Each structure stands twice: as structure tokens, then as C-alpha cells.
Amino acid sequence: MSAVQPSADLWALLAIAARPPAESNRAVFDALGLSVPAAFEAWQAAYTEAFVVQCVPQASIYLGAHGAIGGETADRVADFRRLLGSATHDPNTASDHVAELLADYAELAALAAADPQAAHARTALFWEHLGCWLVPFCDALLRSTSAPYVGWARLVKNGCLAEAQALGAPAQPALHHRRAPAWSAGEDAADIDAAVRALCVPAATGLVLTRADLATAGQVLGTALVCGSRAFMLTLLMRQDARATLNWLSAEAGRQADARRVEVAMLGAAAAFWAQRAEASEDALAAMADTVSLAPTRRPRHDAAWRPPRRVVASQHATPGNGTAFVSGSTDKDNDNDEPVEGEDREPDYRFTLANERTFLAWIRTALALLAGSVAFVHLVPELGIPGARRIIGAVLAAISIAVVLASALRWHSTQKAMRRDQPMPSTLMPWLLAGAILLVSLALMATIIAFGIGDGGS
């Protein structure tokens, strides 16, 4: 059954809507039937969430072998556009940005009916640089963002599927994808870091993961999660419960593979590529979950009532109203392997290690300040009413500085040891002792100045 191709005007409007917000573009969204927030700041926030935080709209991320902006993929796109003689529609936008590519496509669509060369270029542009990634990209947007860009993603996805039916599916994937190696765990089946790196490369794994997806995983698995780069969030999930995280990722890979399989009839080799890569990742992640040597589960806080995040057996269902895929299942309470073992040394979360080091350095800075005060008091302050008083106070300040250095080193060591053994944070009297010592020095100095004044004694 043939499909009605979207008009050139529709593609042109979608290209403009993918650009950063501008008051002059409100009419474009109205023409597309999309509601834009009345407050311009809210509109900017929605754009940032969609195209900066969740899904960067550049082809090189989804087509390239490294899942990064630029590189060989961006060069191929730029070369193709130069062959077309395409002008840069926005000098601040990358050549492989979806807005630039859609604008080019709109121009070719307008010429295609009367110009066979334009029709051929249109087909090449669609299958080599647009249709091979826009549908997974739009699906990621649909589950990760909000109006008006969720509506934009739906229009683009539906337009791509209709365009694919009208143009006819190609027999092989785009050159970008043929050049992108597939991810295979192989001998690195237990290498979590390698898996994290691969999961950030859509063309290698067939998976498009957003920060919203990983936040969903954290909620499902009951793990503490801090928003950051996708690699950072994946690493946090893996460190807390590697096996449950791998099971969730395997289930997500299966869900995305099923979604791409449905589209094979329309997108042909373009959809088959994503489906095959996602299916291979589903199997690889499931195998890793069975064989991975679990990193110890870290305690988010020192709380006697704390228990490790529950182990989840993956079975998907949709949460009504938001379309987000969650994983539900039973808690694996009979397996004691996840329980922290008191007294057993293990590598602490690097964030806590760095925080401990920053605290130690703060104490060192305090000691240096006391030492500087000691030197300044001896050499720069006029003699007090009591002979030798300034030297005594300088020596006391230097002694406090030495004590702070020694105590801070012991404090750093004991804290690091407690973190390695999952023991409660050791208590310390350092703040009280330091405050008391400085208070006593200050009171003695004030009493000396009041009683004897400054400059009345000998040197």
C-alpha cells in the first residue's frame, strides 16, 4: 500500500521547529498544531531538556562508531551537503544537526516532482542521513521529554515512516551503519567499564538511552542516582547493583528491538540494522548479568536500617498515563551475596573517596593559615605589654597548626578505612578542640592587650 508523502512545507516547518526557540517561530508551532509555553523561559527550558539534556539532535551521535559529535560521520554528512550545494541555514548549527538536514530535505522535496536529479538526491539524503536514525531518535524523545517537542517527535516519526513507504526501503543499511562495528562483550564479559562505554554508542548496541531512561532504571531498581552524563549514571547504577542493572538494560534492549522489528516492513534494512544490534545487545547484557562478578553494593548513608537495593526480575509493563516502561518483579531476599560484610575491605565509591580527600585538604589549609598567622604574629605585630608574649602566642599557633596536620591525617585514614569496610563514620573532636584552642588564644590575647596595652614591654 502506497503512503502519502509529507509535503515539502511540512518538512520545512519541522526543520524550523528543531532550532532554538525564537518568538518569531511561535507561528511555526501553531501551523504544526503544537502548543508552545506562553513564557519564553519555559519554552527555552523545554528545548534544553529535549535537545541538550536528553537527545542531542546530531546525526553523528546515532550513526557514528563512537557515539560522539563530529568525526567521520559528520564529515560524510558535510560532504554530501556540499555536493548538493546546500547553504548553511544557521551558522551556529552543526552540519549534521537535524534542523539542517530537514531543511535540505524540504528543499529537495519541493524540487523532486520536476527534477529527476533532485528526486534521486532526496532519496539518497533520506536513506543515508535521515531515515537511518530519526525513528529511534524520535522514540527516545517521545519517552523522555514533554510538549511541544514530544509532539514534534511524533510528527517527525510519522513523517519518516510515511516517507519510507513512499520512497521504498533500501536493500542495505546506510554507509554510516555499515562502517560502525557492533558491540560484542566477548572476552570482556565481566568488564563493566567497557559495557558502559559501549552502551553510550547507539550504532554499536542498537540502543538509544537517555538520561530519563536511566532515571527510570534507578527508580525501578531502588538505587540512589545523581544526574550527570549517561556514562556517569550508568556507572553509578552498575556500582550499586551490577546484575540488576544489566538485567534491566537487557530488558530495555529487547523492548527497543521489538519496536524496530515492527518497522522493518516500512524502513527495511534501516530498521533491521537497529533491531539486530539491539537483539545482540539483549543477549550480551543477559549473559553479562549471569556471569559478572558483582561489585559490592555501596551504602548510600550510614544507617543501621539500610538494606541493599532489591534485586528485580525483569517483566515489563507500562505505567498508565506516561508511557514509561518500568520493570517490576520480586525481591531476591534469599541471596545473601549482596549483603555488605562488616570488616571486609572493598573499594569505596570514588565520589566519597574524593570528598574525604577534599575534607583532608580543607584541614590542611586551616593548618597553613594558623602557621601563617604564627609567623605574622611574631614578625609583624608590635610587642605586647608582657615581654616575649608575642613569641609565646606565635608558638602556640604553630603548635595548633602541627596538631591539626596530624589529626587531619589520622581522620582521613580512619574515614577511608571505615568506608572500605562499610562501617559507621568515626566520630571526631577536631572541630571542638580547634575551636577551643583558638578561643583560648583569643581570650589570652584580648586580656593581655586590655591589661598591659601594646608596645609597653621590651622586645
pLDDT score for 87: 67
Q: What is the DSSP string of 280-348?
A: HHHHHHHHHHHH--PPPPPPSS--TT--PPPP----EEEPTTT--EEE------S-GGGSPPTT---PP
Check: CB of residue 34 under 8 Å from CB of residue 14.
Answer: no
DSSP structure class, residue 154: H
Check: CB of residue 174 under 8 Å from CB of residue 267.
Answer: no
C-alpha 142/C-alpha 152 separation (Å) is 9
pTM over 0.75: no
C-alpha 394/C-alpha 379 separation (Å) is 9
- Give the three-class secondary structure for 58: strand
Q: For each of the chain's 459 residues, which pLDDT tens digit applies?
A: 445 678 999 999 999 999 999 999 999 999 999 999 999 999 999 999 999 999 999 999 999 988 999 889 999 999 998 888 876 666 667 889 999 999 999 999 999 989 999 999 999 999 999 999 999 999 999 999 999 999 999 999 999 999 999 999 888 889 999 999 999 776 555 678 888 989 999 999 999 999 999 999 999 998 877 788 899 999 989 888 889 999 999 999 999 999 999 999 999 999 999 999 999 999 999 988 888 754 444 433 333 333 333 333 333 333 333 333 333 333 333 333 333 333 456 677 677 888 888 899 999 999 999 999 889 888 888 877 788 888 888 899 999 999 999 999 999 998 888 888 777 778 888 889 889 989 998 898 888 888 877 665 444
Gyration radius (Cα) of the chain, Å: 31
pLDDT score for 298: 41
